[in-house]
Amino acid sequence: MGMGIVVATRDRDVPEDVFDWFRHVDDTFSTYKEDSEVSRIRRGELTVDGASEEVRRVLGRCAELREETSGFFDIAVVDGDPSGYVKGWSVDEAAALLDRAGVQEYAINAGGDIRVRGTWRIGIQHPLDPQSLAKEVEGTDVAVATSGAYERGDHVRDPHSRHAPAGILSVTITGPDLGTADAYATAAFAMGGHRAPNWTAQLNGYEAMTILADGRVLSTPGFPSA
Amino acid sequence: MRTKITAAVGVVALALPVANAAAAAKKKVVTVTKTVTGPEAVADRWGYVEVALVIKKTTTTVGTHKTVKRTIVKVKAPIYPNHTDRSVFINQQAIPLLTQEVLTTTKFNPNIELVGGATATSYAFQQSLQAALLQAKKI
């Protein structure tokens, strides 16, 4: 997927299947791979209906998330590239794999998006100083996703105005599902500082920490600060 | 912020016609007040700003001669997120309150096991930092 994924376990070795799984995800979804299903769909060589069940499920979920976020998460903005959702979704599937393999304490970190089983101490990078932390989180059986000004070298933009969102430095979302948390973080960040806090406050089953450009940090009551 | 308000006022002022004073016996005056809203402008620190102007239009008719005068009665500039959001947080009881803190900087410490984020950091840095942290904990 063009980035490193770190899998750490406390009670037993990481099963090889996990790495096979991520390779398979890359082969199927990578826009850098000519023969991946996503690349073929984008070139018009493959229809969504003709794609594998996995791809249809991912694209279906992206459509749902577009509705849930009033279009602030929308893969159409990046030419139908579902990578933003696939990253977290593939980690969710890998976590299920580890659960089935009987691993009881593990942590997966995919380029800053995290999912853990057991209790782990997580530092959230400071949005202005990557060598410092903005917040420490104590996470148990939870996914943690953060959206900020730069993601994969691209600017996150408000899909409605096409401008960079104003007044906001980052949004961190925690909850049961990393794919969803990631999409929510992306959407909230794109909404900008005047809309993000209120929107995150009404999320069901997900907690949030929004860092505004004026230095205020607005968190939902259940956000797992350490 | 002040600059934006001044600019908006300036634009409206240029569009106003020059009023002529007219004196005569039979005079009819009609006054209309209207609010006009400028486009949403992205400001640096405060988020989206939309300026609203309350305009009073006075039409004076003397015989067949009619003059129109417009004045800006009020300038309204709701500023996000400074004063508006607080009332929103309190009034909307269906939405739980958010806790507010000031952004601080904490150094990495040996307790940290994982690093989350999405800032202007290369993935190489993230990955090597993460791997180093895990090694330090001997996981």
Do B57 and B124 belong together in one domain?
no
Do B13 and B72 belong together in one domain?
yes
Tell me what pLDDT residue B2 has: 29
Q: What percent of chain A has pLDDT over 90?
A: 81
Residue B48 lies in a domain: yes
- Give me the residues of A, 168-197, that contact B with CB < 8 A: 168-170, 172, 185, 192-194, 197
> Global pTM?
0.71
What is the spatial distance between Cα A190 and Cα A163, in angstroms, rounded to a whole number? 9
Residue B97 lies in a domain: no
DSSP3 helix / strand / coil % (chain B, rounded to 5): 25, 35, 40
Token pair in block for residue A205: 């089953």
Q: Bigger pLDDT: B64 or A56?
A: A56
| Residue A46 to chain B, least CA–CA distance (Å) | 31
Comparing alpha-carbon positions, the chain A residue that sits nearest to B111 is A121
| Residue B129 to chain A, least CA–CA distance (Å) | 10
Interface test with A, best of B48, B100, B119 (most A CBs within 10 A): B119
Token pair in block for residue B19: 């009023």
**Among A57-61, A147-151, B14-18, whose mean pLDDT is lowest?**
B14-18
What is the spatial distance between Cα A59 and Cα B96, in angstroms, rounded to a whole number? 32
Residue B93 lies in a domain: no
What is the spatial distance between Cα A194 and Cα B85, in angstroms, rounded to a whole number? 8
Residue B112 lies in a domain: yes
**Would you write out chain B's pLDDT as a tens digit for each of its 139 residues?**
322 222 332 222 233 333 444 444 578 998 888 877 665 554 433 345 455 666 778 889 998 899 888 776 665 654 443 334 444 444 444 445 788 999 999 888 778 899 898 743 455 555 566 666 666 554 3
Assess A144–B contact: CB distance below 8 Å, yes or no: yes
Instruction: Choose among B67, B114, B52: nearest CA to A135.
Output: B114
Residue B24 lies in a domain: yes
Question: Once rounded to an integer, what is the mean pLDDT over residues A146-175?
Answer: 78
Tell me what pLDDT residue B120 has: 39
Q: Taking CB atoms and an 8 Å limit, are A172 and B119 in contact across chains?
A: no
Q: Taking CB atoms and an 8 Å limit, are A122 and B113 in contact across chains?
A: yes
Do B72 and B127 belong together in one domain?
no
User: Can you list the domains of chain A with their CATH numbers?
Assistant: 5-219 (3.10.520.10)
Question: Which residues does A208 contact at the CB level (< 8 Å), separation at least 6?
Answer: A171, A172, A173, A174, A184, A188, A200, A201, A219, A220, A223
Q: Taking CB atoms and an 8 Å limit, are B116 and A9 in contact across chains?
A: no
Q: Which of A166, A170, A185 is nearest residue B42 as measured by Cβ atoms? A: A166
Predicted confidence (pLDDT) at residue A215 exceeds the cutoff of 80: yes
Residue B90 lies in a domain: no
Tell me what pLDDT residue B56 has: 77
Query: Domain tally for chain B?
Result: 2
Pairing, β A216-219 against β B99-102: antiparallel
Q: Which residue range forms the structural domain that includes residue B119? A: 104-139
Do B78 and B112 belong together in one domain?
no
